[in-house]
Amino acid sequence: MKIHIPTHILDQIKAHGESAYPYEGAGLMLGKEEGNRIVSSLLFLENARDKANQHNRYLITAEDMLRGEQEAARLNSSILGIFHSHPDHPNLPSEYDREFAIPWYSYLITSVNNGKAAGSRCWRLEDNRESFSEETILSTTE
Amino acid sequence: MPILKIPTPLRPYAGGESSLSLPGEIVEDVLDAAVQAHPMLKKHLFNDSGQLRPYVNLFLDEDNLNQLEGLKTPLSASDTVLIIPSIAGG
């Protein structure tokens, strides 16, 4: 499993995580699946969790996902996955991530330590919902 | 017949289709027909108690069914029902 994410898009994701710090930031990765996944654009979304829980939780509402689907259709692409940040925590899926994850989507997690993005890793939930597998990020300059 | 739009993550369980034309006079009928045609969809739409899973949201065009009559919302032959997941994590 591999996902191509151009460097400038990865940089945008990191900047978004830093701007959301100390809260979690989130959004959608749009693109196409042609053997590997290729991310071509992002949709930055508000974390819809109540403020008191935004430091370790995020929520993307169905209305925002509908907007994402419409944007993806306009671009002749698909929602490939979700990115979110982990303020002052590793870029590993939490148990809460696993509980609410949906198979097929790519889940990109960026650690933001003391307000500075420290690195991103990507994960996909197994069909049995018991664990995640890591998806290799291929970052290219375009 | 009404059309049921399938989101990308659920297409592998719906024969790879992005939309299904299904018979039904209310939304519940259409979901039942979808599950009958594609049984693997069931566990991803409903929990063991037969309730819609928390991340499954249904829209009639751009209107959330929660603001209409839920699964009992009546449909016409030209209506499109969308399955839209909400996303949560931590």
Query: Is the ipTM above a cut-off of 0.95?
Result: no
pLDDT digits (tens, 9 = 90+) for B25-61: 999 999 999 999 999 999 888 888 888 988 899 999 8
- CB distance from A69 to chain B under 8 Å? yes
- CB distance from A23 to chain B under 8 Å? no
* Tokens of residue A7, six digits: 């460097």
Which residues from B are below 8 Å from A62, CB to CB?
57, 59, 64, 84-86
Domain A2-138 homologous superfamily, CATH: Cytidine Deaminase, domain 2 (3.40.140.10)
Residue ranges of B 26-85 with Cβ closer than 8 A to chain A: 44, 55, 57, 59, 62, 64, 82, 84-85
Predicted pLDDT of residue A142 = 61
Per DSSP, which regions of B1-90 are E strands?
A: 3-5, 19-21, 56-60, 63-64, 80-85, 87-89
Per-residue pLDDT for B78 more than 70? yes
Inter-chain residue contact B64 with A63, CB threshold 8 Å: yes
Q: Where are the alpha helices (DSSP H) in chain A?
A: 7-20, 62-74, 95-100
Q: How many angstroms separate the CA atoms of A16 and A142, rounded?
A: 20
Per-residue pLDDT for A42 more than 90? yes
Longest dimension (CA), chain A: 41
- Specify the amino acid at residue A70: Q
The sign of the torsion formed by the CA atoms of B19, B21, B26, B28 equals negative
Which residues from B are below 8 Å from A102, CB to CB?
9, 55, 85, 87
Domains for chain B: give ranges and CATH numbers: 3-85 (3.10.20.30)
- CB distance from A94 to chain B under 8 Å? yes
Per-residue pLDDT for A130 more than 90? no
Q: What is the pTM of this model?
A: 0.87
All structural domains of chain A with their residue ranges: 2-138
Inter-chain residue contact A60 with B12, CB threshold 8 Å: no
